Amino acid sequence: MVKKKILVTGGAGYIGAHTVVELSQAGFEPVIVDNFSKSDDTLLKGIEKILGSKPVFMEGNCTDRTFLRSVFEKHQFACVMHFAAFKSVGESVQRPLYYYHNNIESLVTLLEVMKEFNVNDLIFSSSCTVYGEPDQIPVDESAPFKRAESPYGATKQMCERILEDAYSSGFRVISLRYFNPIGAHPSALLGELPIGTPNNLVPYVTQTAIGKREQLTVFGNDYTTPDGSCIRDFIHVVDLATAHMNAMQYLDKQKGDTFYNVFNLGTGVGVSVLELITKFEKATGVKLNYVIGPRRSGDVGKTYADPTKVNKELGWNAKYSVEEALLHAWQWEQKLAQ
Ligand code: UD1
């Protein structure tokens, strides 16, 4: 049987690479496009080790129409998964136009090229950042968009708006709003590879534990939460990856030429930063050096998903615990240090 080809933009990155593995293992043929602007070939090598064969890969930029056309000329895709985007909140504040150009232009160019080649199905990587500081917790998909705290957040809101406006011209689209992806592949051959000092919590935790960073700073313990630290919905990256297949299969079953829907991807369980540190110490047996510092500007105090819609409609549930995710992240960090 001919395998269905799936275009995975940003497939050399953290979430894209995990999704490539899940797709391949489920019998699809992912085709990776990446320009290595925020990555290198480390995760491509990891994919190859896990699968025992080199993934199909084309190097290039999704804002480059000529390049994208060459990808679509070479392959007939059943679906596109668009992970390629910049995601650093802090960097987006420093370089807003760089973010707007990359994140918006790549989506628009991709949609135009999909149209040219009659490829209609798209899974888009959105984020819980679209909600800003939500009025109600857990947050469901009907919550309104608040003013984005950063240009990065604004690009995710704008991309969703573009999709909402454009899908009726012949696209079938699902936007997945990720909460906080953490962890690594259980084989320890794939994981997060932050460039320079990590912005996100878990890579900072594992780098501190291994001695690459002196100590972790907990950003604030004066939030209105039980222990004062922020609360998030941490979701294992492999669970996140498998949800893309549920979304793709759901899209495939839809009748008609146009479709648009959004789903939260979270566990539905809120875990505080201090709880996460305790869970890390328990799961790994490593004591973490940390201090309490001031709040980080732009941080939301408390957010976690209401995943009812994704559970019911896509038939997807998170399977891994936060402890397992932290153990896998730690095993990946240790592997990197070898
Ligand atoms: C941010 C973005 C989110 C994006 C995600 C991945 C916002 C509001 N959130 O999530 O959209 O998808 O990054 O790039 O734009 N923390 C510490 N010490 C640290 C690092 C983090 O205490 O050294 C705390 C933070 O204050 C926060 C929690 O850990 O409460 C999680 O932080 P982080 O991993 O950066 O994710 P978010 O800010 O939730």
- On whether residue 257 sits in a domain, the answer given is yes
Quick check: bond before 194 cis, omega within 30? Answer: no
Closest approach atom of ligand 1 to CA 273: 29
Residue 281 pLDDT: 98
Number of residues that make up the chain: 338
| Tally of structural domains, the chain | 1
> Pairing mode, if any, of strands 271-272 and 231-232?
antiparallel
| Cβ–Cβ under 8 Å, residues 229 and 221 | yes
Ligand 1 lined by 232 (C-beta under 6 Å) = yes
266 Cα–ligand 1 center, Å: 15
Residue type, 150: S
Q: Percentages helix, strand, coil for the chain, rounded to the nearest 5?
A: 40, 20, 40
265 Cα–ligand 1 center, Å: 16
| Cβ–Cβ under 8 Å, residues 304 and 157 | no
CATH number of the domain where residue 310 is located: 3.40.50.720
Angle between helices 151-166 and 96-116 (to 10 degrees): 20
Please count the other Cβ atoms lying within 10 Å of the Cβ belonging to residue 240: 27
Distance CA 338, CA 333 (A): 9
Residues 6+ apart with CB under 8 A from 93: 150, 151
Which residue, by CA, sits nearest to atom 22 of ligand 1? Answer: 218
Ligand 1 lined by 200 (C-beta under 6 Å) = yes
- On whether residue 230 sits in a domain, the answer given is no
- On whether residue 186 sits in a domain, the answer given is no
Structure pTM?
Answer: 0.97
- On whether residue 27 sits in a domain, the answer given is yes
| Cβ–Cβ under 8 Å, residues 288 and 204 | no
86 Cα–ligand 1 center, Å: 15
Question: Residue 115's domain spans which residues?
Answer: 5-181+235-267+306-319
Distance CA 285, CA 269 (A): 23
200 Cα–ligand 1 center, Å: 5
Residue type, 257: D
Closest approach atom of ligand 1 to CA 298: 8
Sign of the four-CA dihedral 19, 24, 28, 32: positive
- On whether residue 227 sits in a domain, the answer given is no
Residue type, 161: R
DSSP reduced 3-state for 316: coil
- On whether residue 292 sits in a domain, the answer given is no
Tell me whether residue 218 is exposed, middle or buried, using C-beta atoms within 10 angstroms of its C-beta: 0 to 12, 13 to 18, 19 or more: buried
Which residue, by CA, sits nearest to atom 3 of ligand 1? Answer: 129
Active site residues: 152
Which residue, by CA, sits nearest to atom 9 of ligand 1? Answer: 129
- On whether residue 298 sits in a domain, the answer given is no
174 Cα–ligand 1 center, Å: 24
Question: How far from the centroid of its chain's Cα atoms is residue 257's Cα?
Answer: 27
Ligand 1 lined by 86 (C-beta under 6 Å) = no
Tokens, residue 332: 């990946």
Ligand 1 lined by 149 (C-beta under 6 Å) = yes
Nearest CA to 145 out of 164, 136, 132 is that of 132
- On whether residue 327 sits in a domain, the answer given is no
Query: Mind listing the pLDDT tens digit of every residue in the chain (338 residues)?
Result: 789 999 999 999 999 999 999 999 999 999 999 999 999 999 999 999 999 999 999 999 999 999 999 999 999 999 999 999 999 988 999 999 999 999 999 999 999 999 999 999 999 999 999 999 899 999 999 999 999 989 999 999 999 999 999 999 999 999 999 999 999 999 999 999 998 999 999 999 999 999 999 999 999 999 999 999 999 999 999 999 999 999 999 999 999 999 999 999 999 999 999 999 999 999 999 999 999 999 998 888 999 999 999 999 999 999 999 999 999 999 999 999 99
